[in-house]
Amino acid sequence: MSETAQHSAHHIDVKEFHPRARAAIHNPQIRQNFRKAMDGLMTKRKSAFEGWDLETLRDLGANIRLRALANLPDLLEQLEQKLTENGITVHWATDGDEACEIVRDICLARNAKSVIKGKSMVSEEMELNHYLEEQGIEALESDLGEYIVQLADETPSHIIMPAIHKNTEEISQLLHDKTGTDLSHDVEYLTANARLQLREKFMNADVGVSGVNFAVAETGTLCLVENEGNGRMTTTVPPCHIAVTGIEKVVPNLEDVTALLALLTRSATGQHITTYFNMISGPRKADELDGPEEVHVVLVDNGRSTIYQDDELLDTLRCIRCGACMNHCPVYTRVGGHAYGTTYPGPIGAILMPHMVGLDEGRHLPTASSLCGACGEVCPVKIPIPDLLVRLRQESVDGDTVHPAKVAGHGAKRSTVEAMIWKGWSWMHARPGIYRLGTALGARFRKLQPGKIGGWTQYRTAPKLAAKTLHERMKERSQ
């Protein structure tokens, strides 16, 4: 069974993490594809930062993002004003549905039948393609990876490299089946062919939809990072361009972009700079030859303003979506992006998605980490991901006492049995005499120790209690 066969683009049940993770673990192809891809990305990142003072750069990145977030409401107002001055129409959406409706209305007003899309994770969050399809509007992905994923009727398995779960052979077969290209492992040939097909779509599309990497408040500029030119095509060829973005993507000024861009591309793909860097500041002017007639920006909240209200969780919004935390996560590397069943997988997904789907749906997300800290170590804007995972674990089991209802689905994972076990554990370990008695008895009767301990002994032998505890040995020594 192909691991991805079960992950068609719609109606993924977030709750089914365990069976999906298990299937991925036992799928040698998936394991190999991810291992190879992530090893490559880790090496590239490392060499891209050679000669740089990475810690200083990360501090700078973190500070820029922190400063932007500290003034988020003001910056958003400034951004709206500047964008409007530049001739861009600004829309606000509280959630994915509303954002979809805004896009639909713009399409309807133009009588648009086809939409060409550049890469945008927010549009994945909104499930925009699916929605537009239902409205009778064709939405075609133009980023090669997204295009492949769309052809396969899947969702992206990585935020930067959507089709990273597939190797060349699989992609070749897919393109052959769906578009009739020759079965070839020549990447140049496959790319050129896909490009040809997409070119035509670009020329005829009524609307172009893109994401945004940075929105600059001071100048009202939308910055877009990409490698294939599809972002440039999407934002210039069709007569109407709609950019969708999360409200947290705003930064005060263009200088901030310089540092963040350097961190973003190096962290993501190990590139010093991407092939294309688009800066969009408005629709086509009277004396200009190209560019869209109208430009819209949809600023999507979708849970972000709730995150914003909590001092600790706020750090989640620093994210610049580089994907480095996934590339370095030993869990993501083993199970792949689809196991998570969420728009954003891996460590960033584990701290972001609970706010979007609720802890009742996404209860496994914060636990799917060994807290090894690799994600926090590489994050270019220093998000304390492991600490946030622990915070969300607490939210999932909390009985309303500490952070009442901060996160959707708060307390959903609390089980009476588990809570009792920890109560008992706490009771014993807060009482030294009882602890010593208990552990000494354990040592004495260690032969009675169970040989099987849940999932542990599935893969390992049971740990062996020592004949005497350190406490006992130290006691004997002092006598």
> Residues in the site for ligand SF4, rule: CB under 6 A?
267, 319-325, 348, 378-381, 383
Q: Is 25 in the site for another protein (CB under 8 A)?
A: yes
Q: Which of 134, 426, 452, 479 binds another protein (CB under 8 A)?
A: 426
Per DSSP, 463 falls in state P
Using CB under 8 A as the binding criterion, the count of chain residues that bind another protein stands at 68
Q: Is 367 in the site for another protein (CB under 8 A)?
A: yes
Q: Is 458 in the site for another protein (CB under 8 A)?
A: yes
Q: Which of 1, 289, 417, 430 binds another protein (CB under 8 A)?
A: 430
Q: Is 281 or 394 the residue whose CB approaches another protein more closely? A: 394
**Least CB distance to another protein at residue 184 (A):** 33
Q: Is 379 or 389 the residue whose CB approaches ligand SF4 more closely? A: 379
135, 104 contact by CB (below 8 A) = yes
Q: How far apart are CA 363 and CA 131, in angstroms?
A: 27
Burial bucket for residue 265 (CB in 10 Å: 0-12, 13-18, 19+)? buried
C-beta atoms surrounding 168 within 10 Å: 12
Q: Is 349 in the site for another protein (CB under 8 A)?
A: no
Q: Is 334 in the site for another protein (CB under 8 A)?
A: yes
Which listed option, another protein, ligand SF4, none, makes contact with residue 379 (CB within 5 to 8 Å by class)? ligand SF4
Which listed option, another protein, ligand SF4, none, makes contact with residue 437 (CB within 5 to 8 Å by class)? none
256, 68 contact by CB (below 8 A) = yes
Selected range binding another protein among 110-118, 139-147, 162-170, 464-472, rule: CB under 8 A: 464-472
Selected range binding another protein among 127-135, 237-245, 277-285, 448-456, rule: CB under 8 A: 448-456
Amino acid at the residue 180:
G
Q: Which of 32, 81, 191, 457 binds another protein (CB under 8 A)?
A: 457
Q: Is 290 or 476 the residue whose CB approaches another protein more closely? A: 476
Site string for another protein, 45-64 (x = CB under 8 A): --------------------
Paired sense of beta strands 207-210 and 240-246, if any = parallel
Three-class SS state of 347? helix
18, 142 contact by CB (below 8 A) = no
Q: How far apart are CA 318 and CA 63, in angstroms?
A: 9
Q: In what order do the strands lie in the sheet with 214-216?
A: 250-251, 214-216, 221-226, 276-280
Q: Is 431 in the site for another protein (CB under 8 A)?
A: yes
Q: Which of 150, 230, 234, 439 binds another protein (CB under 8 A)?
A: 439
Three-class SS state of 225? strand
Paired sense of beta strands 114-117 and 138-141, if any = parallel
**Least CB distance to another protein at residue 174 (A):** 27
Q: Is 151 in the site for another protein (CB under 8 A)?
A: no
Alpha carbon 134 to chain centroid distance? 26
Paired sense of beta strands 250-251 and 214-216, if any = parallel
Q: Is 447 in the site for another protein (CB under 8 A)?
A: no
Q: Is 405 in the site for another protein (CB under 8 A)?
A: no
Q: Is 479 in the site for another protein (CB under 8 A)?
A: no
Q: Is 465 in the site for another protein (CB under 8 A)?
A: yes
Q: Is 90 or 390 the residue whose CB approaches another protein more closely? A: 390
Q: Is 151 or 371 the residue whose CB approaches another protein more closely? A: 371
254, 218 contact by CB (below 8 A) = yes
Task: Annotate 239-261 with b (16+ C-beta within 10 A) or e (fewer).
Answer: bbbbbbbbbbbbbbeeebbebbb
| Positive or negative: CA dihedral 386, 326, 268, 132 | negative
Q: Which of 67, 130, 185, 423 binds another protein (CB under 8 A)?
A: 423
**Least CB distance to ligand SF4 at residue 162 (A):** 14
Burial bucket for residue 435 (CB in 10 Å: 0-12, 13-18, 19+)? middle
Q: Is 459 in the site for another protein (CB under 8 A)?
A: yes
Q: Is 136 or 433 the residue whose CB approaches another protein more closely? A: 433
Which listed option, ligand SF4, another protein, none, makes contact with residue 381 (CB within 5 to 8 Å by class)? ligand SF4
Q: Is 324 in the site for another protein (CB under 8 A)?
A: no
Q: Is 208 or 376 the residue whose CB approaches another protein more closely? A: 376
Q: How far apart are the first and last CA of the chain?
A: 65
**Least CB distance to ligand SF4 at residue 266 (A):** 11
Q: Is 330 in the site for another protein (CB under 8 A)?
A: yes
Q: Is 125 or 398 the residue whose CB approaches ligand SF4 more closely? A: 125
296, 86 contact by CB (below 8 A) = no
Q: What are phi and psi of 180, to 5 degrees?
A: 80, 15
What percent of the residues of the chain are helix, what percent strand, and what percent coil, each to the nearest 5?
55, 10, 35
Q: What are phi and psi of 157, to 5 degrees?
A: -105, 5
What residues make contact with another protein under the rule CB under 8 A?
18, 21-22, 25-26, 31, 39, 330-331, 334-335, 367-374, 376-377, 384, 387, 390, 393-398, 401-402, 419, 422-423, 425-426, 428-432, 435-436, 439, 442-443, 453-466, 468-471, 473-475
